């Protein structure tokens, strides 16, 4: 892992100084142009589940310098922060999120296909769009990702995968930013990839771009594989309803959806949350579902699958935020 230290140039911020909410808002507004900061944003507008209370602030840096300035400011003043991609695989509690979410801007969504069969892409790039563009260029290896609804950065975070493929199979390096350390280059051996796991789960670090090693392939075969995976998703997954994708990780030697279906839980509801009748490892928002509805349904499914099959399902969806405050 290569670390490149940089001078942040934050004008003398002192670490450990805690500001009131009104104060850090005022200071944050000095770092980015106003149009790249949104205040009190409903997380239901930023997640594929269409669920979640308000976020204090959403910032969208458009350069690596802005990333560094924002992160070091938040760290110095102990303002809680998280990285937000396209909001898939995420359940935000009904009280919302205190602090700041960093969502990389459009300048981090570019892509470059190189002559050595590598693809460089910004972490804000849509994973599905990346897979399609790579395939259109005759490069094979990303077909599995064509229907995964997330950003490239989120795919690195979760080591996203499907149809016997995963990000660990194609990642050559990741450029990231670490608080107080600067810009870091992660090699495959540094990334600690596992089943829906990576080193990005451990502490604050922000993926900025990714270099992928793909292979030349037959364009017709790539196109056929992409079409096949797309059709499978369309017919077998509830894409027409808000969800966070697969709710549970695949248990050893089995499938979560199979276990849930065999326990007779398709269609089970709590409030506006429902186990999909199309794919049992999806929980869908039928309209007006709260995070509490989803969490109660997850626990009910886990308990009943354990009673039926003796297997404790492990949630894959990330849960963040806080409960609503009682007046």
Q: Catalytic positions, please? A: 196, 246, 316
Nearest of 6, 120, 16 to residue 67 by alpha carbon = 6
What's the CA dihedral at 179, 319, 146, 231 to 10 degrees? 180
CA distance 103 to 84: 5
Nearest of 42, 39, 101, 44 to residue 71 by alpha carbon = 101
- Which DSSP string corresponds to 131-144? HHHHHHTTEES-GG
Alpha helix segments (H runs only) across the chain: 21-28, 64-76, 127-136, 152-158, 219-236, 256-262, 291-309
Point out which residues pair with 215 in neighbouring strands: 140
Helix (H, G, I), strand (E, B) or coil at 315: strand
CA distance 88 to 275: 17
Note whether 276 and 285 are within 8 A (CB): no
Point out which residues pair with 102 in neighbouring strands: 59, 83
Please give the order of strands across the beta sheet that includes 282-285.
Answer: 243-246, 282-285, 273-275, 269-270
HSE-CB at 188 with a 13 A cutoff on CA atoms is: 9
Nearest of 325, 287, 323 to residue 49 by alpha carbon = 287
């Amino acid at each position: 892992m290569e670390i490149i230290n940089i001078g942040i140039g934050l004008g003398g911020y002192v670490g450990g100084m805690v500001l009131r909410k009104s104060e850090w808002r005022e200071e944050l507004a000095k770092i980015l142009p106003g149009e790249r900061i949104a205040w009190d944003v409903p997380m239901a507008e930023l997640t594929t589940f269409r669920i979640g209370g308000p976020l204090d602030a959403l910032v969208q840096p458009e350069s690596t310098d802005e990333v560094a300035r924002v992160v070091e400011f938040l760290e110095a003043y102990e303002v809680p922060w998280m990285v937000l991609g396209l909001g898939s695989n995420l359940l935000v509690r009904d009280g919302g999120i205190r602090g700041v979410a960093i969502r990389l801007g459009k300048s981090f969504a570019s892509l470059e296909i190189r002559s050595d069969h590598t693809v460089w892409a910004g972490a804000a790039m849509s994973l599905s769009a990346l897979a399609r563009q790579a395939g259109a260029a005759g490069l094979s290896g990303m077909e599995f990702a064509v229907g995964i609804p997330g950003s490239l950065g989120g795919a690195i975070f979760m080591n996203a995968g499907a149809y016997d493929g995963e990000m660990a199979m194609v990642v050559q390096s990741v450029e990231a930013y670490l608080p107080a350390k600067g810009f870091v280059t992660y090699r495959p051996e540094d990334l600690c990839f596992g089943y829906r796991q990576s080193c990005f789960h451990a502490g604050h670090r922000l993926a900025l771009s990714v270099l992928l090693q793909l292979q030349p392939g037959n364009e017709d075969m790539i196109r056929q594989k992409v079409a096949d995976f797309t059709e499978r998703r369309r017919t077998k997954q509830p894409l027409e309803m808000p969800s966070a994708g697969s709710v549970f990780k695949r248990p050893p030697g089995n499938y979560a959806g199979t276990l849930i279906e065999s326990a007779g839980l398709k269609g089970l509801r709590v409030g506006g949350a429902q186990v999909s009748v199309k794919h049992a490892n999806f929980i869908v928002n039928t309209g007006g579902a709260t995070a509490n509805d989803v969490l109660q349904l997850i626990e009910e499914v886990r308990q009943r699958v354990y009673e039926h099959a003796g297997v404790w399902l492990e949630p894959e969806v990330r849960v963040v935020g806080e409960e609503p405050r009682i007046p």
